[in-house]
Amino acid sequence: MLALSNLRERWSGFLATFVTVLTGVALTTATLVVYDSTRPRVEPRLAAASVLVLPPQALDPDGVPKDRVPWSPDEARPLMGELGALPGVASVVADRSFYAQAFLDGQPVEDEGALEAGHGWSSARLAPYELRTGRAPAAADEVVVDRALGVGVGATLTVNITAGRTPFHVVGTVDGPGYYFTDDFAARQEPGVRSIALVAGEGVSADALAAEARDVVGDKASVVWGDDRSELQPEHMAHKRFLGTQLIGAMAALGLFTTVFVVASLLALATGLRRREIALLRMIGATPSQVRRMILGEAGAIGLLGSLAGCAVGLGAAPLLRGILVGLDVTPPELHLRVAAWPLLTAATIGVGVSLLGAWWAGRRIAAVAPVEALSDSEVEDPATGRTRRTVGLVVLGLGVVLAVVTAAAGADNRVNTAVLTTMALIVAAALLAPVVVAPVGRVLTLPFARRASATALLVRAELRAGAPRAASLAAPVIVVVGFAVLLSGMVETMRAAYPAGAALALEGQVIVTPQGTPGNTDEVVDANPVGKAALPTRAFVRDADGELTVIDVLGSRDPRWNRPGQAVLGATTARLLGVEAGDDHEVRFADGATVRLRVAQVLPDDPGRGDFVVSRELVRAHDPAALTDDIFVPARAEPTSVVPGTAVHDAVRYALDDYDTDARLTDSLATMLIVVAVGYGGIAMANSVTMAARGRRRDFAVMRAAGATTRQLLSYSAAETCVVVAVGALLGILAALPPLAGMASGLSQATATEVGLQVSPSYLAAVVLGSLALAVGASAAVTWWAAARGEE
C-alpha cells in the first residue's frame, strides 16, 4: 500500500529513476532485438541437408574452441561409408566450398561470398538446386553456373580460381548462387572435408536421422540438424556479424553499465533525502525489514514501469539501430528484424533487477535509521561515508590499475575492450571514493574565492564539507560522461596516430599489389610479381605444450630466409605456446588433414610483419590448395609494369592510409555511437540528480531567503556549487580515462614499433566539460528559481 501510494503521490521524485531505467531498457531491447535478428541462419544452399556431420573443434591459443579440424579424404571416406549405410539416409555429400569467381568482360563479378562460391556438383542437391538447362559437369573443365549470371550453356566462361583465371565450359545452369564443378575437381581444390551433409530419405525426420548419425560417429564428430545447421556459415558473413556484434555488444555493455551506475546513485540520493520520512515510519512501528521492503517495492514497481516503457521505446528504436548498422556495412545481407520474446524479457528483467539492486544498495543502511531522527528539526545527512564504500572503492581502484596494465599488454583484438573495462572499473572507483575526494578537491578549487566577502564562497565551501555524500552523488554522472567521452575520443585519436604511422614506416619504399574485387591474390598474380613478400596464409593445427590441439595462423613465405623445406620459423610467443625451442621437431596438421613433421629452425622475437609460424610457401600450397595470397609487397624498383585483372598496385604510404581509413570509419562510428550513448545518458542522469538534489533543499533556500538572500544570490550560490561539483566530477572522469589510454598508447607503441603518444583533443575535452557544466548549471538554476519563486508566494 505504502510503496504504491508513495509512487502515485511522489512520482516526481521517482521520475529520474523511471527515465533512467527506461533509457537503459530501451537501449538493451534495441541491441538485443538487432543482435537476435543478425544471428546466423541456415544457409539457403543447405536447406535440404537434413543433418550435418562436422569434425571436432580445435582450441585457439586462448583456449577457446575455434576452427573445426578438417578430415583428410582418407578419414572422411570410411565415415561417409558408414553414414551412407544408415537406413534413413538418401545421400551423403562431402560438402566443399572454395574460391571461384567469374570474370565477365575482363573484370571480376562482384560477389562478397566468392571465397566460398565454388562447390562440387553433389553439393547442389543440398539446396536442392535443380538443373534448369544443360547437364551436370562431367570433366574438370566443365562448370554449372547460376542462371542469374546470364551465361548460357555452351559458352566459355573465365572463372578465377586459386590458380588464377581459367577457362571453363558452361554445361548447365541452376537457380541458385555458386559455381558447381565435378566432385573430383572440388576435392582437388579443397581436399580436407569440413562438413558431411546427409539428406534424409522419404519420410525420415531430421532428428531421427541425427540420432542415428550420432550413434555412428560417437565423439569423433558433432552432429547438427535444424537451426543448429546455421553453424556452417560463410566466412564473410561471420566476419560482418562479428563486427556488428562487437558494436552492439559494446553499446549494450556501456548502456548496462551506465544504467546500473546511474540508477544506484539516483536511488542512493533519493533515499538519502527521505531520512526523516523513514524515521517517522520507524517511529510508528515499521521494522527495518519493513522499510527495506517498502524501498524495494517502490524500486521494483518503478523498474517494472520503466522496463515496460523501455521495451516499447526499444522496439521503436531497433529499426533505427538496424539502419545505422546497415549504413556501416556490418550486418549480414538482407537483415530483417524479427522480434522474439527473449530480448524483451531479458531487457525487462535487467531493468527490474537493476532498480532492485540499486534500491538494495541504497536501502542497506537507511532502513536502520534511528527513529529518533524524526524528532530532529533538520534533515541530517548520513554522517559517515561508510567503511564498506571506501573499502569497495579501493578494491575496485586496484582492479582498475591492474586492468590498465593489462591494457598495455593486450593484443589488438582485446585492446579496446580492456580499455573500456578499465575505465568502467576506474569510474566506479572514482564514484565510490568521491565522498572522500569531493570536499578537499572542491575546497582547493574554491581557495581563490575564500577571502572574498561574498556569502556564496562561504556557503559553497561549507556545503562541500557538510554535504559530501550529496555532492558525490551529483558528481557521479559527470564522472561517467567525462570519463567515457575522454576515453573513447582519446582512443580514436591515439589509434589514428598509431596505425598509419606504424604501417607507413614498415612500408617505406614499397608498392603493394592488392586484390581488387577479389578476396585475395591468386597464384597467377603471385607469378606475375616474382619479387617481394607474398605470404600465403592458412590455418593449421598443432599440439600445444599441454598436448591440446590448437589452431594457429601459419604463413607460407617465399622469402629466401624462411622458405626452407621441412623447416619452420617461430615467433617467441608461439614457441612458448607449443613448448618448443630451435632445433626441436613438431607436427603440424594442415587443412587437407595431412600431418607434417617440421624442424623448428629458429625462434625469433615476435614480429607481426613476419608472422608467428612461418614455413615455405610450397608447403602451404601443397596442403591447402584453396588458400589465396595476401597483399604482395614489391620493392619500388621492381614495380610491376602490367596489372593482373582483379588486382591494383598502390604506393605503400597511400595504401596504409587508405587501409586505415576503412578501419577508422568503423572505429569512428563505433566511438561516436558510444559517446552519444554515454553523454546523452549521463546528461539525463545529471539533469535528474541536480533537480532532485535542488528540490530536496527547498527548506535551506527558505532559510536563506529569510536570512536576506535575494533570488539572484540564491541562483549564484546554486550555480557556483554546481560548477564546483561538475569540476570535481570532470577531474575524476579525466583521471579515470587516462590510465587505460596510457596503457593503450604503450601497447600500440610496441605493436607498431613507433613512439605513440597519448592523444586527447583539448577542444573536444573542453566541449564535453563545458557541455556538462551548462547542463548541470541550467538544471540547478531552473529548480532553484522555481523553488525561490514558490517561496515568495
Partner 1 sequence: MITVGHTHTSDAVQLHDLRKVHGRGDRSVAALDGVTMGFPRGSFTAIMGPSGSGKSTLLQCAAGLDRPTAGRVVVDGVDIGGLSERERTEMRRDHIGFVFQSFNLVESLTAAQNVELPARFAGRRVPREEVDAALAAVGLAERARHRPGQLSGGQQQRVALARALVTRPAVLFADEPTGALDTATSREVLETMRRLVDEEGQTTLMVTHDPTAAAVADVVVFLKDGRIADRIVVDSDSDVRNGASIATHMARLEA
Per CB under 8 A, residues contacting partner 1 are 1-2, 5-6, 8-10, 276-277, 280-288, 290, 370-372, 374-375
Q: CB 364: neighbour CB atoms within 10 A?
A: 15
Q: How far is the CB of 1 from partner 1 (least distance, A)?
A: 7
Query: CB-wise, 282 or 461, nearer to partner 1?
Result: 282
Q: How far is the CB of 309 from partner 1 (least distance, A)?
A: 22
The rounded distance, in Å, linking the Cα atoms of 567 and 562 is: 8
Cis peptide bond N-terminal to 128, omega within 30: yes
Query: CB-wise, 281 or 714, nearer to partner 1?
Result: 281
Which residues does residue 196 pair with via DSSP β-bridges, in sequence order?
53, 94
Q: How far is the CB of 211 from partner 1 (least distance, A)?
A: 56
Q: How many residues does the chain have?
A: 793
Q: How far is the CB of 367 from partner 1 (least distance, A)?
A: 12
Q: How far is the CB of 792 from partner 1 (least distance, A)?
A: 19
Query: CB-wise, 212 or 298, nearer to partner 1?
Result: 298
Query: CB-wise, 283 or 782, nearer to partner 1?
Result: 283
In contact, 667 and 495? CB cutoff 8 Å: yes
Q: What are phi and psi of 187, to 5 degrees?
A: -65, -25
Q: How far is the CB of 409 from partner 1 (least distance, A)?
A: 52
Q: How far is the CB of 4 from partner 1 (least distance, A)?
A: 9
In contact, 116 and 234? CB cutoff 8 Å: yes
Greatest CA separation for the chain: 102
The rounded distance, in Å, linking the Cα atoms of 254 and 678 is: 7
Give Cβ neighbours of residue 134 (< 8 Å, ≥ 6 apart). Answer: 144, 153, 170, 171, 172, 173
Closest CA to 481 of 320, 689, 668: 689
Chain centroid offset of residue 392 CA: 28
Q: How far is the CB of 286 from partner 1 (least distance, A)?
A: 5
Q: How far is the CB of 669 from partner 1 (least distance, A)?
A: 46
| The C-alpha cell that represents 659 in the structure block | 587501409
Q: CB 583: neighbour CB atoms within 10 A?
A: 10
Closest CA to 72 of 161, 190, 162, 180: 190
Query: CB-wise, 277 or 606, nearer to partner 1?
Result: 277
H or E element at residue 47: none
H or E element at residue 587: strand 585-589
Query: CB-wise, 107 or 376, nearer to partner 1?
Result: 376
Query: CB-wise, 13 or 680, nearer to partner 1?
Result: 13
Q: How far is the CB of 289 from partner 1 (least distance, A)?
A: 9
H runs (alpha helix) in 549-623 = 572-578, 617-623
State the angle between helix axes of 11-37 and 235-272 in degrees (0 to 180), rounded to the nearest 10: 170
Closest CA to 153 of 132, 175, 167, 177: 132
Query: CB-wise, 35 or 786, nearer to partner 1?
Result: 786
Query: CB-wise, 66 or 293, nearer to partner 1?
Result: 293
Write the CA distances from 134 to 124, 146, 709, integer angstroms: 14, 12, 95
Task: Tell me the pairing of strands 118-120 and 179-181.
Answer: parallel
Query: CB-wise, 1 or 138, nearer to partner 1?
Result: 1
The rounded distance, in Å, linking the Cα atoms of 437 and 431 is: 10
The rounded distance, in Å, linking the Cα atoms of 717 and 729 is: 18
Q: How far is the CB of 302 from partner 1 (least distance, A)?
A: 14
Residue with cell 546500473: 260
Give Cβ neighbours of residue 261 (< 8 Å, ≥ 6 apart). Answer: 427, 428, 431, 476, 480
Query: CB-wise, 275 or 589, nearer to partner 1?
Result: 275
Q: How far is the CB of 288 from partner 1 (least distance, A)?
A: 8
| The C-alpha cell that represents 206 in the structure block | 531430421
Give Cβ neighbours of residue 510 (< 8 Å, ≥ 6 apart). Answer: 532, 633, 634, 635, 636, 652
Q: How far is the CB of 705 from partner 1 (least distance, A)?
A: 19
Query: CB-wise, 238 or 372, nearer to partner 1?
Result: 372
| The C-alpha cell that represents 570 in the structure block | 617461430
Residue with cell 561508510: 386
Q: How far is the CB of 738 from partner 1 (least distance, A)?
A: 45
Q: How far is the CB of 43 from partner 1 (least distance, A)?
A: 59
Q: How far is the CB of 271 from partner 1 (least distance, A)?
A: 15
Residue with cell 604510404: 653
Query: CB-wise, 148 or 372, nearer to partner 1?
Result: 372
In contact, 56 and 68? CB cutoff 8 Å: yes
Query: CB-wise, 9 or 110, nearer to partner 1?
Result: 9
Query: CB-wise, 8 or 451, nearer to partner 1?
Result: 8
The rounded distance, in Å, linking the Cα atoms of 25 and 33 is: 12
The rounded distance, in Å, linking the Cα atoms of 508 and 501 is: 11
Q: How far is the CB of 369 from partner 1 (least distance, A)?
A: 12
H or E element at residue 711: helix 711-752
Query: CB-wise, 8 or 597, nearer to partner 1?
Result: 8
Query: CB-wise, 214 or 276, nearer to partner 1?
Result: 276
Closest CA to 24 of 245, 266, 297, 272: 266
